[in-house]
Structure 1
Amino acid sequence: MSGVYHLEIKETPEELKELLANQKTATGFERVQLLYLLKTGHGQTISQTAEIIGRNRVTLHKWIRQYSSGGIEGLLKQKSSPGRPRSIPTWAETALSKRLQEPLGFNGYQEIVEWLEQKLGVNTCYKTVHKLVYYRLESCPKVPRPKSSEQSQAQVEAFKKTLQTT
């Protein structure tokens, strides 16, 4: 019969059905569905299976080649694009995170920009530093409040004890 594709599918229909239920993405579901339809005989030809799934037959042939070369892992392997590299490298980010934990802190984001440039040699802009510190590191430039030299620690503790909280 013309168009019938002979593919040795190692998994049982029960295993494929379980894999179908566990798929988190639509593409993974479609790929496992291809194997399930071919294994159970619901899709007798690639063209018929392509119609059922709603994909082009060339796409199904590509998936079959992936399955033949890498098994089920090769078929379900997700490609991830590397994306644009961060303007502040991870080593500088960890150094900044450690510096933010110190009690001295920074006076503001502009001071962090200058510190990155002078100490680490990382040239970046204010907006990038703000997004990194505030959103990614979930921190803020820490500045201790000024304390009076005349302030007594005993008086502070006594005030805290007598302060009424509601």
Structure 2
Amino acid sequence: MSGVLKTEIQESVEELKTLLNRQTNAVERSKLQILWWLKQKQVTQVNELAQLSGYHRITVSRWLSRYRAVDGDVRQQLIQELEDAERVSSYGEIQRWLAAIHGQVVPYKTIHKTVRYGLKGKLKRPRPVSEKQPVGAVEAFKETLAPTSTST
């Protein structure tokens, strides 16, 4: 049947409620509200969501398709990629990986939110070291560094 939703919401009702309360951007808040309605099973069709949210049904469908963009299998592979810090160093690299391996074109913002907030991952890498710095200078500095006292 056309318009019937088959979107599985991965977040719990409590998570969605806290995200909804913390959200300050009106459009992002509307997106979370739609996910909350779906999780609560208050609506079953895109037209109902469109009427409740005040957005066009095409807009609501587009938001839901972006939400479904990173499915469960790809998410598990992404988690494995993130565990190995050598493989992934930027969100753009993840975006290219999804496009090349899985054929999914996902916006940068969606990848950032999924990795940073959904998977609780941080893409960290060390700062560059000057070429003029002698080898072992950092270790020597750490050895001679006087311990700081925390008492007052």
For normalisation by structure 1, the TM-score amounts to 0.42
Larger radius of gyration: 1
For normalisation by structure 2, the TM-score amounts to 0.45
